[in-house]
Amino acid sequence: MISRRSTLVKPDAQFIALANTIYEQCNEHAAEWAIDAQRLETCATLLAAANAAYEANSDRATCNAITASAKKAAFVELKRFLANFIDYLEVNMSVPNAALVAMGLRSRERHGRQPLPRPAEAPLISVQRRHGEMVIYAARPLHGHSVQGNLSGHYHGFMVRYKKDGDADFHIAASTRKHCALYFEQADEGKRIWLSAAWLNPRLETGPWCEDITEIIG
């Protein structure tokens, strides 16, 4: 969906091209779209002034502080008008939605996504041990096999909860990829570590934790 800010806040060349497109289409389909004649006339007047000011300021032979100021003032007036005119076009149901989109305006149709709920399943995890490092891989279960596909569309990432020998509490790590690396000191080698994981949704809410697994560091 195109926002109002992205519609009107553009580089000068893009903005004036957009303004010309809006006017040309509305003028061409004025009767079909039941465009208010006074609004269309005002648009034509402001657009003519903005085009003239833009051209004068774009010409290296004529541009100066005065032309720059005039162009800025003309654009401000035109943008102020267009902000209301675009609203008018959007609520004018005689203007087809496809025409709004073709003019570079926002669609009437809103396709907002519903927030994803908390994950309902626990991941399967596997561990790859390296010197001073342990890499935890998370996967989705499918027919008894782990599936390490793209997390996009399902989960934002996953959280790892772990505790090693001598720790009073669990530690937490998180990753938005399919794996999460934990790093340990040399003194930790040979210690047992308990691990579990849970999926995260885009709001960083966790699903159920998988059962703890036990590994040896190092």
Dihedral angle of Cα 137, 141, 145, 147, to the nearest 10 degrees:
-50
Q: Tell me what pLDDT residue 72 has.
A: 96
Taking a C-beta distance cutoff of 8 angstroms, is the pair 182, 194 a contact?
A: no
- Over the chain (218 residues), the average pLDDT of each successive run of 10 is 65 94 96 92 96 94 93 95 86 89 83 72 89 85 51 71 91 80 86 93 85 91
Taking a C-beta distance cutoff of 8 angstroms, is the pair 193, 217 a contact?
A: yes
> Which residues touch 147 (CB under 8 Å, ≥6 apart)?
139, 140, 141
Against a cut of 0.75, is the pTM above it? no
